[in-house]
Amino acid sequence: MEKDVTILISNEPEAHPAAMLVQTASRYDSSVYLVTPGKKVNAKSIMGMMSLNMQKGDVVKVIVEGADEAEALQGIEAFLSGK
């Protein structure tokens, strides 16, 4: 499954959004990837997530593959949307 998601969470350093996103993705058995122009990273990798340098308002493609992919996609989208 895949879906384009607009990032609406704060990227301020004290919020630690990359670490929180890794924690969210790690709750699921499915593989979770975020894709930006020229990059595809494992959302369960803190180094990968930090390398994306995502900003509020950016659009990323979320790709989820596995047994709980629908739940994982919903959880990642909710996190990125600030819900």
pLDDT tens string 19-28: 899 999 999 9
Query: What pLDDT, on the 0 to 100 scale, is given for residue 15?
Result: 54
- Any idea which residue has 């989208």 for tokens? 77
Query: What pLDDT, on the 0 to 100 scale, is given for residue 47?
Result: 92
Instruction: Report yes or no on whether pTM surpasses 0.85.
Output: yes
Q: Where are the beta strands (DSSP E) in the chain?
A: 2-6, 31-36, 39-42, 59-65
Q: How many CB atoms lie within 10 A of CB 63?
A: 19
Query: What pLDDT, on the 0 to 100 scale, is given for residue 13?
Result: 55
Give the phi and the psi of residue 5 in degrees, each rounded to 5.
Answer: -130, 135
Q: Under 8 Å CB-to-CB from 74, ≥6 apart: which residues?
A: none
Distances (CA, A) of 33 to 13, 24, 47, 60, 75: 22, 12, 13, 10, 13
Query: What pLDDT, on the 0 to 100 scale, is given for residue 55?
Result: 86
pLDDT digits (tens, 9 = 90+) for 39-79: 999 999 999 998 888 888 999 999 999 999 999 999 999 99
- Any idea which residue has 């989820």 for tokens? 64
**Arithmetic mean of pLDDT, 33-37:** 95
Topology given in CATH for the domain delimited by 2-80? Histidine-containing Protein; Chain: A; (3.30.1340)
